[in-house]
């Protein structure tokens, strides 16, 4: 605590580089989706998961698990998507308190137009400019960080008890 251990030059550069890339990439992809298909990144992810699910239907809690979204966020977002005819909500037959989200025809159409364009954007902004080695390193780093964050989260939970 008394010695902060600031980032040195290469560390600083890597960190800033990552942050800038992060902001730039999300901003770019979100804007492309939005201007070309009228979908936000959030809409896209919801529709992507639904379109891959059997019959295009999922329980909200399953969808929330896949997206790692808070349940209130999901509920609010589904409400807005329902108003725009992207999805519909039905009552669940086997669990009386639950619901089922179903992708609507308009949602299906939009995601089928959006998906190839989105992949093309991801390629054009990132993937196509990476060597196989860079691709591997990126995967490695991502996996390491994911594991580490899970660890930190567990520690946090332990401390709370």
Partner DNA sequence: TACATCTGGTTGACGTGTGAACCAATCCGC
Partner DNA sequence: GCGGATTGGTTCACACGTCAACCAGATGTA
Cβ-based nearer residue to DNA, 5 or 68: 68
Locus of tokens 């329980």 = 59
Instruction: Give the binding site for a second copy (CB under 8 A).
Output: 1, 4-7, 10-11, 13-18, 20-26, 28, 68, 115-116, 119-120, 122-127, 129-130, 132-146, 148-149, 152
Q: Which stretch binds DNA (CB under 7 A): 5-13, 37-45, 107-115, 132-140?
A: 37-45
Rounded to the nearest 5 degrees, what angle is found at the Cα of 85, between the Cα atoms of 79 and 88?
60
Bridge-based pairing of strands 87-91 and 57-58 is: unpaired
What are the CA-CA distances from residue 132 to residues 32, 135, 137 (Å)? 26, 5, 9
Site residues for DNA per CB under 7 A: 27, 31, 40, 42-43, 59-61, 64, 69-80, 89, 92, 95-100
């Amino acid at each position: 605590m008394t010695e902060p251990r600031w980032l040195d030059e290469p560390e600083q550069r890597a960190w800033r580089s990552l942050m800038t890339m992060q902001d730039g990439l999300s901003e770019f992809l979100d804007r492309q989706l939005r201007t070309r298909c009228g979908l936000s990144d959030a809409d896209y992810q919801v529709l992507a998961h639904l379109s891959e699910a059997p019959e295009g239907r999922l329980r909200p809690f399953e969808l929330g698990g896949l997206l790692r979204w808070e349940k209130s966020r999901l509920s609010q977002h589904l409400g807005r998507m329902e108003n725009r005819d992207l999805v519909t909500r039905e009552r669940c037959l086997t669990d009386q308190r639950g619901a089922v989200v179903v992708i609507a025809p308009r949602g299906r159409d939009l995601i089928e137009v959006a998906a190839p364009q989105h992949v093309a954007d991801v390629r054009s902004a990132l993937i196509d400019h990476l060597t196989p080695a860079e691709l591997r390193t990126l995967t490695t780093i991502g996996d390491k960080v994911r594991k580490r964050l899970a660890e930190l989260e567990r520690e946090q939970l332990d401390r709370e008890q």
